[in-house]
């Protein structure tokens, strides 16, 4: 399986996905229409651009955002969710890492690059254990 790239419009921030709605029994969260519209459009665009390919296992993601978008960490989740909804990846839980960066040549679009990780390469990479220290 080879790498895939998609060009999508910039998604709404994760901070803008959900809206609280009061009900008779309390409150619940619903997806905002702005996000629902973007998500549906992005899934259609990915479905068109992926040319029938689908990553079934582990992958890494590289994202290029337009300048001026400083909440890159809040844009990653909607993009990966769109990749799953558009059929480019089997499940977002197979994402083993990635990067995001700013690109001053982009105007209102995002470049998403998905790279499959062969099972052998992943097994070799996971031979150690990570430890965090608290200071």
> What pLDDT shows up at residue 130?
58
> What pLDDT shows up at residue 125?
59
Q: Is 63 contained in some domain?
A: yes
Q: Is 99 contained in some domain?
A: yes
Q: Is 43 contained in some domain?
A: yes
Phi and psi based region of residue 100 (left: phi greater than 0; alpha: psi -120 to 50; beta: remaining) = beta
pTM of structure: 0.81
Q: Specify whether the CB–CB gap between 118 and 7 falls below 8 A.
A: no
Q: Is 114 contained in some domain?
A: yes
- Segments forming the whole domain that contains residue 83: 4-123
CATH number of the structural domain spanning residue 31: 3.30.1330.70
Q: Is 133 contained in some domain?
A: no
Count of the separate structural domains present in the chain:
1
**Residues with pLDDT less than 70, the chain:** 69-70, 120-135
> What pLDDT shows up at residue 133?
61
Q: Is 128 contained in some domain?
A: no
What pLDDT digit, counting tens, does each position of 99-124 carry?
999 998 888 899 999 999 987 655 55
């Amino acid at each position: 399986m080879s790498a895939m790239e998609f060009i999508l419009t910039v998604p709404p921030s994760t901070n803008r996905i959900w809206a609280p709605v009061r009900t008779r029994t309390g409150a619940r969260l619903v997806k905002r229409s702005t996000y629902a519209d973007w998500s549906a459009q992005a899934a259609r665009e990915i479905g068109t651009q992926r040319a029938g390919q689908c990553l079934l296992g582990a992958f890494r993601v590289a994202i290029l955002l337009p300048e001026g978008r400083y909440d890159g960490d809040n844009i990653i989740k909607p993009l990966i969710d769109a990749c799953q909804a558009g059929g480019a990846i089997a499940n977002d839980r197979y994402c083993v890492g990635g990067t995001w960066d700013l690109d001053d040549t982009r105007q209102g679009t995002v470049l998403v690059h998905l790279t499959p990780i062969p099972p052998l390469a992943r097994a070799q990479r996971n031979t150690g254990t990570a430890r965090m220290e608290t200071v």
